[in-house]
Amino acid sequence: MTDWKAKIKRKEYESLGECIASDQVPASLVAEYFTDEKFKKWYKKKYAWKEEFDQHGWSADVELDLGR
């Protein structure tokens, strides 16, 4: 059995990343896309902050009140 791995073109990272982050891509396809280690690393670096905000129920769209 051959281990199949996805090969995502660098120019497709942004649009695919946005689709994954907004839940437009089924989990089974996300798993396939993440077999491309370069894309997986890029995605985690780009969207890691979003996961942190989502886990805590915070909104990234609000401005911080810094008491100014």
Instruction: Supply the pLDDT for residue 48.
Output: 79
Residue 5 maps to a domain: no
User: Are 21 and 28 within 8 A, CB to CB?
Assistant: no
Q: What is the residue-wise DSSP string for 6-52?
A: ----GGGHHHHHHHHHTT-S-HHHHHHHTTSHHHHHHHHHHHHHHHH
Please give the pLDDT value at position 4.
72
pLDDT digits (tens, 9 = 90+) for 11-68: 999 999 999 999 999 989 999 999 999 999 999 889 876 666 566 565 545 444 445 4
Domain count, the chain: 1
Question: DSSP state, 63?
Answer: P
Query: What pLDDT sits at residue 68?
Result: 42
Q: CA–CA separation, 35 vs 50, rounded Å?
A: 21
Within-domain flag for 26: yes
pLDDT, residue 10, reads: 96
Domain membership flag for residue 4: no
Q: Look at residue 52 in the predicted model and tell me its pLDDT.
A: 60
Residue 13's pLDDT is what? Answer: 96
What residues make up the domain containing 39? 10-55
